[in-house]
Amino acid sequence: MSRVLSTEQAKTAIGQVQSIINGGFTEQIAALDAQGKILSDPNTWDGPLASQFRGSVWPETKAALDKAREELEQLRTQLQQISENIFSAGGGA
């Protein structure tokens, strides 16, 4: 039979990861998105490099940020599910 264990240290670490994802990190991604939208407006910022930013740099960066946000949400959900499963199986220390 497989060992099932979740110490208080693991429970705390899971909570910290979830807190980082739910709070600061996703808020920072949203803040970056808002600033990227501002810089993508040619009425706010224009020129050859601004056009390059608008056309390729920002769209690629935004896609990466969106993917990171999605993957972090999946991680948060998986950690919660794993933690609940372990504690319901009696693996809590």
Instruction: Say if 74 falls within a structural domain.
Output: yes
List the domain range (segments joined by +) for residue 16. 8-87
Instruction: Say if 36 falls within a structural domain.
Output: yes
Instruction: Say if 2 falls within a structural domain.
Output: no
Phi–psi pair at 42, nearest 5 degrees: -65, -20
5 falls in which pLDDT band (50, 70, 90)? confident
Which is more confidently placed, 15 or 45? 45
Instruction: Say if 1 falls within a structural domain.
Output: no
Instruction: Say if 82 falls within a structural domain.
Output: yes
Residue listed under structure tokens 């980082």: 20
Q: Can you spell out the DSSP letters for the chain?
A: -----B-HHHHHHHHHHHHHIIIIIHHHHHHHHHHHHHHT-TTTS-SHHHHHIIIIIHHHHHHHHHHHHHHHHHHHHHHHHHHHHHHHTT-B-
* Nearest C-alpha neighbor of 57 from the set 36, 79, 74: 36
Number of domains in the chain: 1
Provide the pLDDT for residue 71.
93
Q: Is the pLDDT of residue 92 over 70?
A: no
Which is more confidently placed, 6 or 29? 29
What is the reported pTM?
A: 0.75
Mean of all residue pLDDT scores within the chain: 88
Instruction: Say if 93 falls within a structural domain.
Output: no
Instruction: Say if 3 falls within a structural domain.
Output: no
Instruction: Say if 35 falls within a structural domain.
Output: yes
